[in-house]
Amino acid sequence: MRVLFLLITIFLFSACDLSTSANKRDAEQVNNQQEQYAKGQPVPAFDWSLERNLVIELYKVRNAKAATHSVWRSDRGWIEGDCPSYGYGIPYDTSLSNPLTTVRGHQSLATIEQPEPNGIFASKNTAATWVMCLGEAGTVEPVYVETKVTVYPGPVKVDYSNNQVKRSGAATVLIPTN
C-alpha cells in the first residue's frame, strides 16, 4: 500500500512538473514572438492624434452651455419621451467625489479611479440617465430616465406615431475640425 501511495505521489509531482515546464515553454515562445513583432513591426509613435483631439474637443463642447434635444426609448426601441435639453445626459450615479477609496492590503495598495477632466467621476454601473430638460421659462428640469437616451446636437422633430426622429434644423453644438 505504501509503495502504491509513493508511486502515485511521484506521478502527481512529475505531472505537475511537466505541466509547469510546458506552461513555461509556452510563455517563452509567446515572449519570443512578441520580441520579434517589436523588432519587425514596432509600435508607432505619433506627434498628434485625431482621436485624442476629438475627445479633447468633445470635453470642451460638453463643458459649454449647449442647447440639445434628448429623446428616450423603451427597451423595445419605442420613443417614450423627448424634450429640448441642456447639455448631454448625465449617468444617474455620476459622482463629484471619488466613489472608491484606497485599501491597504497585506503588502499592496489598491488602484483607485481618477476624475474625468470635467471634474466628475463618470458612472460605469448604470444605464439610467439624468436628462436636463428645458422648461417653458428656460429653467432646467432634471428628468430621471432609466431607458436609453439619445441626445441630438440640435433641434429635431419627434414623430411618436411612426417612431421616428428627424433633424429639423442646424446643429447648435459643433466640434471644430482644424
Kindly report the backbone phi and psi dihedral angles of residue 158, in degrees, each rounded to the nearest multiple of 5, phi listed first.
Answer: -105, 120
Burial grade of 104 (CB within 10 A; 0-12, 13-18, 19 or more)? exposed
Nearest Cα residue to 69 out of 146, 136, 166, 155: 155
Alpha carbon dihedral 163, 169, 173, 174, in 10-degree steps, equals: 110
pLDDT in single tens digits along all 178 residues of the chain: 777 676 677 666 655 555 678 888 888 998 999 999 999 999 899 999 999 898 899 989 888 888 999 999 999 999 999 999 999 999 888 888 877 767 676 777 766 777 888 888 877 778 899 999 999 888 999 999 999 999 999 999 999 999 999 999 999 999 988 7
List, in order, residues 6 or more apart from 135 with CB less than 8 Å away: 141
Q: Around Cβ 70, how many Cβ atoms within 10 Å? A: 25
